[in-house]
Amino acid sequence: MAGQLHEQEYILERNHLQKLFDVLSRSGHRIIGPTVHDGAIVYDDLNSVDNLPAGWTDVQEGGTYRLKRRDDEALFGYNVGPYSWKNFLFPPRTRLWQADRNAGTAQITDEPPEAQKMAFIGVRSCELHAIAVQDRVFIQPKFVNISYQSRREKAFIVAVNCGQAGGTCFCVSMNTGPKATKGYDLALTEIIENGRHYFVVEAGSEAGKTVIEQVPNTPAGAAQRSAAEAVVATAAGQMGRQMDTTGIKDLLYRNYRNPRWEEVASRCLTCANCTMVCPTCFCSTVEDVTNLKGDHAERWQRWDSCFTMDLSYIHGGSVRSSAKARYRQWMTHKLATWIDQFGTSGCVGCGRCITWCPVAIDLTEEVRAIRESEELPTESKEGHHGDT
Ligand code: SF4
Ligand code: SF4
């Protein structure tokens, strides 16, 4: 797992990036990073740097995502797509155990922890924060998710500082970006200027330092460092969204009965897209399956969502049967109760839930609407009839 170490900065030329991949492969890492697939930039296994989305960018708005050609060959000139690193650290489906019946006895075999090391290429600052949020959920001293822990401890993280912000990004509001400050092994800033294409590289751990020193590099000078700072400053100035987080926990606690929940519920399809793409959402359920002969059974854990009725089913019915109750649960958990539970916001400002909501519901807009409604006369806020 990445620590913190900020000493030297290195220059890695674009045409030596493959060498970084080679070093990671030789040390047994499965390399996962961005690639173009099904009209989006998703994270998948990479065989070489040729699989990176060279010359592509993404254009994002509420309910909209499109790929577009850039006028250069930047490898990381996009923002975030529908996948996040939770797809690999906490996969959508994981087998927990298998049971076999033999001669009247049942034998249970636990699923072994993931053995292969993974190297994540192109992790954004907001995503580093999201991984840190999931660490708090899955690697608490009292309750450890062994599967997550084994994947996480073996992950080598190559972060990439953002050089542009997307239309739905708001990491500056959440204090989670756009520059990676901790939680990585290596952090790259991509620079294309005067016909030269290179990366300024920072090592964030001893493991990162060991890796970069096996790759052809030169020390970064003042000019390259300031070029890297300018790249990040550009992204910071382009945020497509912003959220005023002042007193947000108490704001949402005070507004449990705000009529705005009815309004957003009238648009929400309870499709759960927002929770699937969110890099911090962690709800799951378990399912048991058996074969037709009845001598083999398996238990699987799979992602679930607070937008499904089943998630809150308690004997006799669902605790949150209305769309209003489910949307309110999601947003209030994300931005308020998460703080009580884990000491941090559950939102890192990546904007995925806005982009991938089919009806363009935007939590930054919802927070703004609730905040502004507090300025209205009291009686106009009393539109509440039943909570579930
Ligand atoms: S807020 Fe949007 S993405 Fe989330 S459940 Fe509702 S319609 Fe689906
Ligand atoms: S709530 Fe939305 S913006 Fe916040 S981390 Fe989740 S997907 Fe990203």
The angle at the Cα of 209, spanning 207 to 210, to the nearest 5 degrees, equals: 65
Cα(197)–Cα(188) distance, integer angstroms: 12
Mean pLDDT of 354-375: 96
Mean pLDDT of 170-184: 97
In this structure, are 196 and 284 located in the same domain? no
From 196, 216, 236, the end of a domain falls on 236
In this structure, are 191 and 277 located in the same domain? no
How far does the centroid of ligand 1 lie from the alpha carbon of residue 304, in Å? 14
Confidence (pTM)? 0.94
Residue range 101-153, pLDDT digits in tens? 988 899 999 999 887 999 999 999 999 999 999 999 999 888 899 999 999 99
Residue range 17-74, pLDDT digits in tens? 999 999 999 999 999 999 999 999 999 999 999 999 999 999 999 999 999 999 999 9
Residues pairing with 158 in the sheet: 121, 186
| Residue 17 maps to a domain | yes
In this structure, are 230 and 310 located in the same domain? no
Give pLDDT, residue 313: 83
Count of the separate structural domains present in the chain: 2
Which residue's alpha carbon is nearest to atom 6 within ligand 2?
A: 278
Which residue's alpha carbon is nearest to atom 1 within ligand 2?
A: 347
How far does the centroid of ligand 1 lie from the alpha carbon of residue 357, in Å? 5
270 lines ligand 1 (CB under 6 A): yes
In this structure, are 224 and 277 located in the same domain? no
In this structure, are 232 and 288 located in the same domain? no
How far does the centroid of ligand 1 lie from the alpha carbon of residue 337, in Å? 20
Residue range 258-313, pLDDT digits in tens? 999 999 999 999 999 999 999 999 999 999 999 999 999 999 999 999 999 888 88
Residue owning tokens 């009686």:
379
In this structure, are 224 and 127 located in the same domain? yes
Cα(144)–Cα(303) distance, integer angstroms: 17
| Residue 231 maps to a domain | yes
Give pLDDT, residue 95: 96
Which residue's alpha carbon is nearest to atom 2 within ligand 2?
A: 353
In this structure, are 39 and 129 located in the same domain? yes
Residue range 244-254, pLDDT digits in tens? 999 999 999 99
274 lines ligand 1 (CB under 6 A): yes
How far does the centroid of ligand 1 lie from the alpha carbon of residue 323, in Å? 10
In this structure, are 35 and 118 located in the same domain? yes
| Residue 340 maps to a domain | yes
How far does the centroid of ligand 1 lie from the alpha carbon of residue 11, in Å? 43
| Residue 1 maps to a domain | no
Give pLDDT, residue 1: 53
Which residue's alpha carbon is nearest to atom 3 within ligand 1?
A: 357
In this structure, are 276 and 301 located in the same domain? yes
In this structure, are 277 and 180 located in the same domain? no
| Residue 385 maps to a domain | no
Give pLDDT, residue 67: 98
| Residue 283 maps to a domain | yes
Q: Kindly give, in sequence order, each residue whose CB lies less than 8 Å from that of residue 290, ignoring residues fewer than 6 positions away.
A: 296, 297, 298
In this structure, are 15 and 161 located in the same domain? yes
62 lines ligand 2 (CB under 6 A): no
How far does the centroid of ligand 1 lie from the alpha carbon of residue 176, in Å? 23
| Residue 293 maps to a domain | yes
Domain extent for 206: 9-96+106-236
| Residue 2 maps to a domain | no
